[in-house]
Structure 1
Amino acid sequence: MDALATAVHTLLEDPDASVEVDVPTPDEAARAVRLFDQGLRSGRGVHRKMAEGALHGAKTLSTDQLQVLSEFVQNSDDTGAAQLRVLLRSDHLLIAHDGAGLRLADVLPLGMPWLSGKTADAESTGRFGIGLSTLRTLTTVWEVHCHPFHVRFSGTDLEPVAPPELPTEISGPEWTVFRIPLAPGKVTAARLHEWFDDWSDASLLFLRHLRSLHVTAGEHSTVLALNWTDMTERQMSIEGVEHEVGVRHARATDGALWRVYTTQVEPHPDWERSHKALGPLVPVSVALPLAHGAHGSVHAGLPVAPLDLAARVHTQFDPVASREGFADSLFNTQLVPVIADLWTAAVRDVLERVDHTAWHLVPLALPSDSAPATLLQDRIRAALLTRARQSLAAELTLPVAEDGPNAPLTEFAVEEDALSAVLDATDVARLGEAPYALPAAVRDSAGRWRDVLADWRAEGAADLR
């Protein structure tokens, strides 16, 4: 048995095995594909039936017919791609990325359900091996093209195919291209654009490599992208330990600006991810919008669930297999205080040093907050609301005047709303028996500052005069 046949046999026996074999030409790649197919066909019938059943089950795994597009975005980021392009043609969909190319060991995980090559990689997102199996909601046959591999997958079968004619923008050896044949009307241009309308540039905030996503269908194109700028580093306390936190700004294509705080924490001895390796350090990130109106989300790479406040948060949360929500796991619960610590320090940093009027970042109670927090995003929101009322209210300092020193909230007096046009700052400080009146420079024009301080006062968290 030659080296290529030996490597294929090894991977059929153990898909996680490390094989060192060169596949330099399309002919050798085609031979490897045939060997994989022969090996699968000659395997035990029960295993083939299980794989076929899993593929049929993958068709109904997600309630979203186009969920697989999220999988392609996440997978491209895991390969180190900087850009991903989605092009809809009359009878097929092309999805291409410029990340690391296809290796021999990647062929089986691409086509087989519940087979993942990423469970040992703590930094990648994939873990279950079902992502591309959800393609069955669109088609039962699809292809991948990446020199020297040109493979068609059909159910549990695979075969080499001729390379297709590709558009100029995704042709060349640096591109990995997935070609997905479509029945007439299966995916329309309007439907594809509508699906991506639920996304925004901020969806890419916590991806490690991907910087742009281009979607072209019909006469229209959509581009999601972020322009990054390194800002500074801060020392921030997380679980009582000082951490170096990197601070960057991400500018969206519509001009929206996000301030992103990122650090790494050491895992606790009892932390354990679901079906996924846990590295020596766990990444934690919080992104704060520096303008009103941005939507919040809880991310595991890409956004998974909405967060009803002005922040996006990310760490190595355990999602459910369909990535339409989060698992009810101990690990997810253990990560909430870590997120809450970084969020508290980040909001304080913005209010004290960047924008004294950024009160839109501070959550207020909602009617839903009276219900038990059962979903992860609800538990995160409850934790951040508590931190705002306690830690943030107690530790926040604000400037006593423009370019003046900062002072804690206990040294400020605030007038009733009806007296705002009657009393000046001197009167407010004197009547409130405080050193200072809360200056105009820290009051946002929408008046949310008053709602926040009233909430903190009602909770006994801020002793404003």
Structure 2
Amino acid sequence: MATFAAISDHDGAETLRTLARLAAHKILSKDKQGLPADPRDAIFAAEYIRECDRLLANTPLLVQEAIESAGHAAEGANVDPYQGVVEVLQNAEDRRAREVRVTLRDGPTSKQMLITHNGLPVEYEHVLAMMLPFVSTKRDDADLRGRFGIGLKTLRRICTDIQVHGAPYHFGSTAGVGIREREAEEAIAEFYEPATDTLLVLDLEGDFDTSSFEQWFEEWTDDGLIFLDHVRRFELKHEDGRTSVRATKATAWVDLQIRDDELTRLQRRTVTAGDRHY
């Protein structure tokens, strides 16, 4: 089998497809040795998604059933039906986003919820972790807050389908165990810019209660952002044109104490949420 180094020295669409297939095999086998940098190319992205789906389809049926059961468990992991939105907010924090925006629209077959953030882009290593339950790219980093896999699966409490758009990756889950390419979403003025943003599109359940969700957002205070390092603005764009905003401001960290051995370091900063200071 050709090595990543040998393949990456050549150009061309078939080279990118071969690289994508090898990357998919590496990710599914949890073999991090020699993983290539993400080429951020549409041909690579499409082939990677197709190969991941093919490999998942070829797993034993018992394993597929276990993955589906884990998905159902993740969907029911929280009492709050909108906890999945908070999980997306935390994932955006991990991607160093400054803003998270939410809106509702009428989709082809149902009402849709759109959630977008301006953090670091989706990479191929994230794709399966965003679709499969209890799969994470974050286990070794204690500073990360979100839970890919669990977080997005909790959104299934309010939706029937989830799409992720982070160019060049455009994908969604399927019935059972699978992942499929999806058509890219066009830019949405003052909400989503494909070149810089990551977008989630949720096909909402038929009984989704818009007024209940808007009330939930209104009761969600600025305090929910005070322990985040990056996200400073969380907004809901209403269908009637109004915008509800939750926002904080934070000063720079200031050293309070550094011991000679530098093993203990105390810092402070002030976070302002509305008229409250922390």
Q: TM-score range by the shorter chain?
A: 0.7 to 0.9
Structure 1 residue 176 and structure 2 residue 198: aligned? Answer: yes
1:30 equivalent in structure 2: 46
- The whole-number CA distance in structure 1 between the counterparts of 2:263 and 2:22 is 51
Compared CA separation, residues 166 and 184, structure 1 to 2 (3 A):
farther
| Counterpart selection for 1:141 from 137, 146, 161 | 161
**Number of residue pairs matched?**
253
Q: Return closer, same or farther for 1:166/1:15 CA change in 2, 3 Å cut-off.
A: farther
Amino acid at match of 2:189: T
Q: Which amino acid aligns with 2:167?
A: H
1:247 aligns with 2:268: yes
Q: Are the aligned partners of 1:16 and 1:117 in contact in 2 as well (CA < 8 Å)? A: no
Q: Call closer, same or farther: CA 1:115–1:231 in 2, change over 3 Å.
A: closer
* Residues in 2 aligned to 1:63 and 1:18: alpha-carbon distance in whole angstroms: 41
Give yes or no for contact 1:23–1:148 (8 Å, CA) kept in 2: no
Change (3 A) 1:187 1:46: same
For residues 242 and 31 of structure 1, the distance between their equivalents in structure 2, rounded to whole angstroms, comes to 46
Per-residue deviation, residues 219-244 of structure 1 (Å, max 9, x unmatched): 3321111122348543499xxx9954
Q: Which residue of 166, 179, 191 corresponds with 1:158? A: 179
Aligned mates of 1:10, 1:233 — CA distance in 2 = 43
- What is the distance in 2 between the residues matched to 1:191 and 1:151? 29
Question: Pick from 105, 119, 124: which aligns with 1:99?
Answer: 119
The code of the aligned residue for 1:92 comes to Q
Shift of 1:185: 4.3
Q: Does 1:195 align with 2:211?
A: no
Listed as ranges, the matches of 1:359-370 within 5 Å are: none
Evaluate the alpha carbon distance shift between residue 232 and residue 164 of structure 1 in structure 2; reply closer, same or farther with a 3 A threshold.
closer
Structure 1 unmatched ranges of 5 or more = 259-465
In the alignment, does 2:101 pair up with 1:85?
Answer: yes
Retained in 2: the 8 A contact 1:55–1:136?
no
Query: Of residues 138, 158, 163 in structure 2, which corresponds to 1:118?
Result: 138
1:4–1:21 Cα contact (<8 Å) kept: no
Secondary structure at 1:117's aligned position in 2? Answer: coil
CA distance in 1: counterparts of 2:113 and 2:21, whole angstroms:
33
Tell me if structure 2 keeps the 8 A contact 1:119–1:127. no
Match of 1:51 in 2: 67
Cα deviation, residue 187, structure 1: 3.8
What's the CA shift for 1:129? 4.0
Evaluate the alpha carbon distance shift between residue 235 and residue 14 of structure 1 in structure 2; reply closer, same or farther with a 3 A threshold.
Answer: closer
Verify the 8 A CA contact 2:254 2:267 in the aligned structure 1: yes
Instruction: Please report the RMSD computed on the Cα atoms of aligned residues, expressed in angstroms.
Output: 2.4
Residue aligned with 2:44, SS: helix
What is the alpha-carbon distance in structure 1 between the residues aligned to residue 173 and residue 183 of structure 2?
13
Matched, 1:70 2:86: yes
Contact 1:233–1:244 (8 Å) recurs in 2: yes
CA distance in 2, matches of 1:86, 1:15: 36
CA radius of gyration, larger in = 1
Once the two structures are superposed, what CA deviation does each residue of 1:293-316 show, in whole Å capped at 9, x if it has no partner? xxxxxxxxxxxxxxxxxxxxxxxx
Q: Distance in 1 between matches of 2:228 and 2:126?
A: 21
Residues 127/73 of structure 1: CA separation in 2 closer, same or farther (3 Å cut): closer
Contact 2:93 2:230 in 1 (8 A): yes
- SS at structure 1 position matched to 2:235: strand
* Contact 2:255/2:266 (<8 A) preserved: yes
d(CA) in 1 for partners of 2:209 and 2:61?
Answer: 35
Secondary structure, in 3 states, of the residue corresponding to 1:214?
A: strand
Provide the C-alpha distance between the structure 1 equivalents of 2:137 and 2:27, rounded to a whole number of angstroms.
Answer: 11
Deviation (angstroms), 1:206: 1.1
More off after superposition, 222-231 vs 132-141: 222-231
Q: Which has the higher contact order (CA 8 A, sep 6+)?
A: 2
1:46 is aligned with what amino acid?
Answer: L
Choose from 229, 232, 239 the match for 1:208.
Answer: 229
Name the amino acid aligned to 1:102: V
Following superposition, the deviation at residue 251 of structure 1 comes to: 2.1
Query: Is 1:224 paired with 2:246?
Result: yes
* Partner Cα separation in structure 2 for residue 135 and residue 82 of structure 1: 22
Q: In 2, distance between residues paired with 1:248 and 1:125?
A: 20
Letter in 2 for 1:107: V
**Letter of the structure 2 residue corresponding to residue 80 of structure 1:** R
Identical-pair percentage: 28
Matches of 1:158 and 1:244 in 2, distance apart? Answer: 45
Residues 1:82 and 1:15: Cα distance change in structure 2 (over 3 Å): farther
Q: Pick closer, same or farther for the CA change 1:232–1:60 going to 2, 3 Å.
A: closer
Relative distance call for 1:147 and 1:164 in structure 2 (3 A) is same
Q: What's the secondary structure of 1:121's corresponding residue?
A: coil
Alignment of 1:388-427 (within 5 A): none
SS for the counterpart of 1:168 is: coil
Deviations 1:125-181 (A, max 9, x none): 245841111122122321000110110212422111211234122123110000111
Amino acid at match of 1:250: V
- Is 1:257 the counterpart of 2:277? The answer is yes
1:31 counterpart letter in structure 2: E
After TM superposition, give the deviation of residue 48 of structure 1 in Å: 0.7
Q: In structure 2, what residue type is equivalent to 1:174?
A: T
Q: How big is each residue's C-alpha offset from its partner over 1:273-300, in whole Å with a ceiling of 9 and x where there is no partner? A: xxxxxxxxxxxxxxxxxxxxxxxxxxxx
